[in-house]
């Protein structure tokens, strides 16, 4: 449908007013989406909603989170290996729903998994975030990796 072609991967309906009015928050895999994507979703909903409903589509707001960590592996990690770990974190962000929670345990899990080349991660020292990141009703998380490799 129009939502998929507009790059929308996450949707949340909220603020129902009990009179047929509601807000639809949308986001893409990389966070907030552009005006044309919002317009495309609005047009699609307007075509299919009940005539008495009033739907307002808005883009979710980015909540930037920098993940700062040192990842230990035998012999340290190359730039390519650190890039792989960074991609894992941005992929993780894409799974967190609008108004959801980014859990530290999920960050550890992504950074601790064996790398594609078979390199086993010894341990991870996570500096930030220091707690689960709970998003507000209109937020979508985006992650900026700040990773360092070290020899275990």
129-152 pLDDT, tens per residue? 999 999 999 999 999 999 999 999
DSSP string, 19-31: SSEEEEEEEBTTB
Rounded CA separation 95/93 (Å): 5
Torsion, Cα of 20, 50, 28, 62 (10° steps): -20
Full-model pTM: 0.88
Q: What is the CA radius of gyration of the chain?
A: 19
Report which DSSP code applies to 91: H
Tens of pLDDT, residue by residue over 112-130, are 999 999 999 999 999 999 9
């Amino acid at each position: 449908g129009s939502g998929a072609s507009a790059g929308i991967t996450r949707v949340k309906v909220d603020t129902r007013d009990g009179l047929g009015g509601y807000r639809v928050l949308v986001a893409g895999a990389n966070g907030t989406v552009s005006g044309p994507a919002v317009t495309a979703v609005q047009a699609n909903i307007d075509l299919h909603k009940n005539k008495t409903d009033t739907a307002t589509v808005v883009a979710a707001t980015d909540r930037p989170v920098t993940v700062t960590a040192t990842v230990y592996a035998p012999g340290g990690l190359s730039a390519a290996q650190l890039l792989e770990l960074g991609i894992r974190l941005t992929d993780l962000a894409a799974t967190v729903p609008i108004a959801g929670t980014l859990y530290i345990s999920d960050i550890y899990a992504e950074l601790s998994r064996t790398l594609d080349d078979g390199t086993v991660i010894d341990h991870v020292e996570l500096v930030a975030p220091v707690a689960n990141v709970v998003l507000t009703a209109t937020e979508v998380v985006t992650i900026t990796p700040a990773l360092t490799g070290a020899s275990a």
